[in-house]
Amino acid sequence: MRWKNAFIPTMKETPKDAEVISHVLMIRSGMMRKVGAGIYEYLPLGWKVIRKVADIVRQEMNKSLAQEILMPVLSSSELWMETGRWQVYGKELMRLKDRHDHDYVLGPTHEEVITDLVRREVHSYRDLPLCLYQIQTKFRDEVRPRFGVMRGREFLMKDAYSFHSTQEDLESYYQVMAETYKRIFNKCGLDARLVVGHSGAIGGKIAHELMVLADTGESLILNCQNESCGYTATNETAEGTVPKTSTDEAEQPMEKVHTPGKESIEDVAAFLNKKNCQAVKALLYRCDDKLAAVFIRGDREMNPAKLHNLVNALEVEIALPDFLESKKESDVVAGYCGPLGIKPDFLFFDITVKDIKNGIIGANEKDYHHINFNVERDCPDAKFYDLVVQQEGDLCPKCGKPMQTVRGIEVGNIFQLGTKYSKSMNAKFLDTDNKEKYFVMGCYGLGVTRTVAAAIEQNHDDWGIIWPRSIAPYDILIQPLDVKDEKVMEITNTLEKDLIEKGYDVLVDDRDAKPGFKFKDADLIGTPLRVTVSPRSLPDGKIEIKRRCDKKSELINVDSALDKIIEIYNSCP
């Protein structure tokens, strides 16, 4: 391809709304353009990279006996009502009506659609296991579309679904998928880690996430410092032990104190001359139609995902005033809530409350708290749960060593769904014992466009992208520095022809522009190898080659250039 004929609209300016480097570079290098919030057009360079990632995904999925299909983007609301996700999915679900006033969904994921397909078409254990996948545009009305294609409202996803006759079979295929995912990201030149993940609204219990480590990642990961232990989990799922802060002071009698207007932990602790960790924080959550009061050490955060698992509700959210009003008989007073004398539907203590000596609690009365609360003395029937968000310095649940936090981008995830969808949609097969059983399911998502962005987060410098060979839009860039120089163009043309014959995808920057301009664009679009044909070195029989990942270039003999170019190209990451 000749640059003059190509549509590669590079630009110098940084787009105003770009907060992360991958977003900046995807726009500046002419890979894509923004159409609306979280909606992009993929231009030739961007689309080439996306297709390369998609092809790697296809190859590896096919090797693992998954078969590619294509489901519709549109699906009828009835399927979503069967599983209850018409309600549960909330505002993220893009809904629309057809001319007959029938409700439809623009697919954010396809569990409902595929379970419907399989219940219609698959009837016997003989047809199992079965894994089907598709690579398709997904729609999600994200609250905050941002970071370019990292969190779009329209994005490309590979979603796979597997169907099994037993849990054991699902578990063994789940391992196959974990390995498949590792190979995919490895082939894309990414350093991705498999971490224990949270299954959220999608259901099931066991889940892992594939994380690309990057400071700009939205996910927080806890890693055990002890490398031989290797425990790693997202902060939504991580378990562990919170180091104690309590002292050996003697237990004092509990006392009610006037704390006018001191509703927050910070305010009340400061007012009573205590630290935040000496107060018991109350959190009020709505779990479907039930009220949960959760108590936790004042300096720590509660993890809604852990609460979600504990209460087994469809929706878990902070309780809003209207909901609290409807639960008036529980005697909970927001801002002054304490564990004594209240009657919520659930009352949970996080394990950290045990650590508080002579602590502060709300008195369930406006403007009052109790001091000198000691949970085991004052609530002898209390049960303790792990409800805390783990943080840096907490102790590993496996080996007890401190954990560290790093940031990551979730590029894919795998779930053991079990029978969640097959049960709610009544999808059954006939087993060997002639009995009808529900399919045991797994699902495996991978963000194709997000993977492209993650690849740039991990592979760039101040000047632009440094593509790994496997997903680069072009393999080799040839730059004739003077397009009017006949000799320069003759060498350029020959190299281009020879390299194309050898199977390389070559871009020739044939624009009549200043060398500095061409070098800048070359660095920006980041092809793994650059070959510069300059009227300065050519009289000495030399051309210059430079790997994008290196700082220095090398002069090579033009006579033996082809072999050398191929050799150096093959040494690119």
**E strand or H helix at 556:** strand 554-557
Query: Which C-beta is closer to ligand ATP: that of 446 or that of 558?
Result: 446
- DSSP annotation of 364 reads S
Among all chains, which residue has been given the structure tokens 């070559």?
506
- For position 450 contacting ligand ATP by CB under 6 A, the verdict is yes
Q: Does 413 bind ligand ATP (CB under 6 A)?
A: yes
411 binds ligand ATP (CB under 6 A): yes
The beta strands (E) that lie in 351-402 are given as 359-362, 368-373, 384-385
Least separation in angstroms between residue 108's CB and ligand ATP is 7
109 binds ligand ATP (CB under 6 A): yes
Q: What is the DSSP string of 137-193?
A: EEE---SS-BTGGGB-SEEEEEEEEEEESSHHHHHHHHHHHHHHHHHHHHHTT--EE
- CA 236/CA 195 separation, integer angstroms: 11
Q: Would strands 464-465 and 255-258 be described as parallel, antiparallel, or unpaired? A: unpaired
Contact with ligand ATP (CB under 6 A) among 140, 308, 460, 548? 140
∠ CA(555), CA(11), CA(7), 5° rounding? 80
Distance separating the N- and C-terminal Cα atoms of the chain = 23
Nearer to ligand ATP, 188 or 411 (CB): 411
Shortest Å distance, C-beta 109 to ligand ATP: 5
Spatial contact of 233 and 227, defined as CB atoms under 8 Å apart: no
Work out whether strand 529-533 and strand 476-480 pair parallel, antiparallel, or are unpaired: parallel
The nearer residue to ligand ATP, 446 or 556, going by C-beta atoms, is 446
Residues 144-163 that bind ligand ATP (CB under 6 A): 151-152, 155, 157
Stretch that binds ligand ATP, among 17-25, 69-77, 226-234, 407-415 (CB under 6 A): 407-415
Residue for token pair 């329209």 = 154
Contact (Cβ atoms closer than 8 angstroms) between residue 454 and residue 190: yes
User: Which lies closer to ligand ATP via its Cβ, residue 18 or residue 531?
Assistant: 18
**Does residue 412 bind ligand ATP (CB under 6 A)?**
yes
Q: CB under 6 A: which stretch of 239-247, 321-329, 406-414, 460-468 binds ligand ATP?
A: 406-414
CB of 155 to ligand ATP, least distance (A): 4
Distance CA 426, CA 278 (A): 51
Query: Are 562 and 498 contacting, i.e. CB atoms less than 8 angstroms apart?
Result: yes
Distance, CA of 439 to CA of 443 (rounded, Å): 13
Q: Does 445 bind ligand ATP (CB under 6 A)?
A: yes
Nearest residue (CB) to ligand ATP, 412 versus 480: 412
Both tokens assigned to 84: 């209850």
Q: Does 298 bind ligand ATP (CB under 6 A)?
A: no
In whole angstroms, the minimum distance from the beta carbon of 202 to ligand ATP comes to 7
Would you say 203 or 447 has its CB closer to ligand ATP?
447
Q: How many CB atoms lie within 10 A of CB 433?
A: 7
The smaller minimum CB distance to ligand ATP, of residues 332 and 411, is found at: 411
Residues forming a β-bridge with 441: 163, 418
**Is 558 an interacting residue with respect to ligand ATP (CB under 6 A)?**
no
Q: What is the DSSP track for 474-538? A: -SEEEEES-TT-HHHHHHHHHHHHHHHHTT--EEE------HHHHHHHHHHHT-SEEEEE-TTTG
Q: Is 39 in the site for ligand ATP (CB under 6 A)?
A: no
Nearest distance from C-beta of residue 443 to ligand ATP, angstroms = 8
259 binds ligand ATP (CB under 6 A): no
Q: What x-and-dash track marks residues 481-520 binding ligand ATP by CB under 6 A?
A: ----------------------------------------
Q: Which has the closest alpha carbon to 53: 43, 64, 61?
A: 61
Residue 447 is a binding residue for ligand ATP (CB under 6 A): yes
142 binding ligand ATP? (CB under 6 A)? yes
Residue 303 interacting with ligand ATP (CB under 6 A): no
Nearer to ligand ATP, 217 or 344 (CB): 217
Size of the site for ligand ATP (CB under 6 A): 16
Q: According to the binding rule CB under 6 A, does residue 526 interact with ligand ATP?
A: no
Instruction: Compute the distance between CA of residue 177 and CA of residue 160 in angstroms, rounded to an integer.
Output: 10
Least Å distance between CB 245 and ligand ATP? 32
Contacts of 381 (CB under 8 A, 6+ apart): none
Residue 92 beta carbon to ligand ATP: minimum distance, rounded to whole angstroms: 8
User: Is 410 an interacting residue with respect to ligand ATP (CB under 6 A)?
Assistant: yes
- Nearest distance from residue 70's CB to ligand ATP, in Å? 17
CB 170 within 8 A of CB 440: yes
Of 125-133, 405-413, 420-428, 528-536, which segment contacts ligand ATP by CB under 6 A? 405-413
Rule CB under 6 A: say whether 204 interacts with ligand ATP: no
Task: State which residue has the least CB distance to ligand ATP.
Answer: 447
User: CA nearest 401: which of 213, 284, 231?
Assistant: 231
Which residues sit at the interface with ligand ATP, rule CB under 6 A?
109, 140, 142, 151-152, 155, 157, 410-413, 445-447, 449-450
